[in-house]
């Protein structure tokens, strides 16, 4: 079993890096770096436990400070990707380097460095990189309007450049090449990982991908299309179902289906294989009280439609249904002052269609239709969508690459069934057997986990921040399981998830553990 100790280089190797790493090596690093099209903004040395400010960070990102997780050299840099675009990076280069490089991505519309993932990786001894995917901030359209090169960076190029620059910077800093190269990310960052594995199969040796946001255009539009199925933005019809009703239905669905896996624990283990007739939520059926029960057949049909897969203009299924029992807040909280509107609930739709699809700041999300979605998908501007129809990982497999993917069964943002669809699509496109797929690509579904993390289930497999020092082994930490697979050939058959009190990993107060 791989432990944190096995991630560190032998003492002699560490000592041989002393002249390159550490405070003295960091102080002279800027003068030593020479990377094409790259400008070093600044270099600074930090001790583990420091809290540093992040000037210039967008208020749509994760905060204006972050915690340093190891004694390391922090490098801030920018790489030009065209005459009109560049990508912003941070490198955290730990003194106790383990010979490995890791790149990370960002969620939503990108634009934010994932300091949690960067910090976790540096804590484990990786030379860790983070990127803003070519623009600053996770909402807005100004950086996309009339900027096709910036869109390419967000779609696929930033991650490729991150791999190139990250490996070279690590080599120049430590004085020798990286031995293995990894990528970690969730949601949009998961999509970016699969895109890289397809387009640039030699960039990374292994990938840890959570809830990959493939079919990205359909992900960000699903809430609108679900709501429109029952008349939104007209919220005053007899068919309209309120958020309070949907919330009660989701809770009762869990109660009804919970025991299907043989254990009553407040979670549905495999919701994609279960069905439920919404007729049972009608008034008088005895399942819901009069304040939230479905008042008529139109409301029953509304709920039935909400839990059906998305279709294209020809009526073909193109996207999974909303997950039974998942939190319906995003598509059901769709009123502003009593009228139809999403407000700030899911601004990526407006930003994406205004800035990328139509290049029109006046486009209204209230007019979104299936035709818009099909048009955007057909364009796939900047390869931002990563459709299942183009899922093909044959070259990545042939290069020896490995993928561990995880997905919460309680995910309200990216239905876990989408990961099943992508896996099956890649298998079909590659003409591969299930054993062929298992040889390089394994998925772990986590009951009770929301989007990427948190939730009522035992969700923590090392993807959260901070890391629990008692869980740094290949059974409890997916990072280390991936390293074990890539470098030792030991494929993971299970991961043990941990549920902490109040989802506070730092407390180390464990409520439950469960194998996946």
Q: List residues with catalytic annotation.
A: 187, 411, 451
Residue 357 burial by Cβ neighbours in a 10 Å radius (0-12, 13-18, 19+): buried
Q: Which ranges in 405-498 belong to alpha helices (H)?
A: 416-429, 434-438, 478-488
CB 351 within 8 A of CB 143: no
Q: Give the pair of three-digit tokens for residue 146.
A: 């009339």
CA distances from 414 to 324, 339, 452 (A): 13, 26, 9
User: What residues have CB less than 8 Å from 59, skipping those under 6 apart?
Assistant: 137
User: Tokens 């930003």 sit at which residue?
Assistant: 351
Tokens representing 302 are 């509304």
Specify whether the CB–CB gap between 460 and 423 falls below 8 A. Answer: no
Backbone angles phi, psi at 439, to 5 degrees: -65, -25
**Contact at 8 Å (CB) between 141 and 160?**
no
How far is C-alpha 61 from the geometric centre of its chain's CA atoms?
Answer: 15
Report the distance separating Cα 180 and Cα 182, nearest Å: 7
Helices (H) and strands (E) in the chain, counts: 17, 17
Q: Which of 207, 208, 140, 227 is nearest to 407 (CA)?
A: 208
CB atoms within 10 A of CB 177: 12
**Cα torsion through 151, 154, 157, 159, rounded to 10:** 170
- Coil, strand, or helix at residue 486? helix
Residue with the two structure tokens 């995003």 = 330
């Amino acid at each position: 079993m791989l432990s944190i100790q096995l991630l560190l280089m032998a003492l002699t190797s560490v000592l041989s890096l002393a002249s390159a790493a550490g405070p003295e090596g960091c102080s002279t690093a800027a003068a030593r770096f020479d990377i094409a099209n790259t400008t070093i903004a600044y270099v600074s040395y930090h001790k583990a436990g420091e809290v540093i400010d992040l000037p210039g960070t967008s208020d749509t990102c994760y905060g204006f400070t972050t915690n340093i997780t190891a004694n390391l050299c922090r490098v801030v840099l920018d790489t030009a990707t065209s005459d009109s675009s560049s990508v912003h990076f941070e490198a955290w280069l730990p003194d106790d380097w383990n010979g490995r490089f890791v790149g990370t991505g960002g969620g939503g519309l990108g634009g934010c460095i994932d300091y949690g993932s960067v910090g976790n990786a540096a804590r484990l001894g990786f030379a860790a990189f983070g990127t803003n995917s070519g623009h600053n901030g996770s909402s807005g359209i100004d950086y996309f309007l009339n900027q096709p090169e910036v869109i390419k960076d967000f779609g696929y190029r930033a991650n490729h450049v991150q791999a190139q620059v990250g490996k070279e910077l690590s080599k120049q800093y430590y004085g020798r090449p990286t031995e293995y190269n990894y990528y970690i990310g969730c949601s949009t960052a998961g999509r970016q990982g699969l895109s890289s594995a397809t387009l640039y199969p030699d960039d990374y040796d292994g990938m840890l991908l959570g809830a990959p946001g493939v079919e990205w255009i359909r992900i960000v539009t699903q809430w609108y299309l679900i709501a429109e199925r029952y008349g939104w933005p007209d919220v005053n019809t007899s068919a309209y179902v309120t958020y309070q009703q949907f919330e009660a239905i989701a809770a009762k669905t869990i109660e009804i289906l919970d025991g299907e896996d043989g254990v009553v624990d407040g979670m549905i283990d495999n919701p994609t294989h279960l069905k439920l007739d919404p007729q049972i939520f009608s008034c008088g059926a005895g399942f819901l009280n009069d304040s939230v029960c479905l008042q008529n057949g139109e409301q029953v049909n509304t709920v039935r439609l909400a839990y059906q897969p998305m279709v294209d203009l020809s009526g073909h299924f193109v996207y999974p249904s909303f997950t039974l029992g998942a939190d319906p807040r995003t598509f059901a909280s769709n009123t502003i002052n009593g009228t139809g509107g999403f407000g700030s609930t899911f601004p990526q739709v407006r930003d994406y269609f205004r800035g990328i699809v139509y290049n029109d700041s006046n486009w209204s999300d209230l007019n979104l239709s299936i035709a818009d979605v099909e048009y955007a998908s057909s364009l796939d501007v900047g390869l931002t969508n990563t459709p299942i129809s183009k899922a093909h990982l044959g070259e990545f497999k042939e290069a020896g690459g490995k993928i561990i993917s995880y997905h919460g069964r309680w995910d309200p943002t990216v239905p876990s069934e989408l990961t099943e669809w992508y896996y099956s699509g890649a298998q079909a496109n590659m003409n591969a057997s299930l054993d062929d797929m298992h040889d390089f690509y394994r998925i772990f579904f986590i009951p009770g986990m929301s989007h990427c993390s948190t939730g009522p289930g035992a969700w923590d497999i090392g993807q959260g921040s901070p890391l629990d020092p008692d869980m740094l082994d290949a059974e409890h930490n997916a990072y280390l399981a991936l390293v074990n697979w890539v470098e030792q050939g030991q494929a993971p058959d299970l991961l043990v998830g941990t549920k902490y009190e109040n989802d506070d990993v730092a407390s180390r107060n464990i409520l439950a553990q469960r194998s996946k």
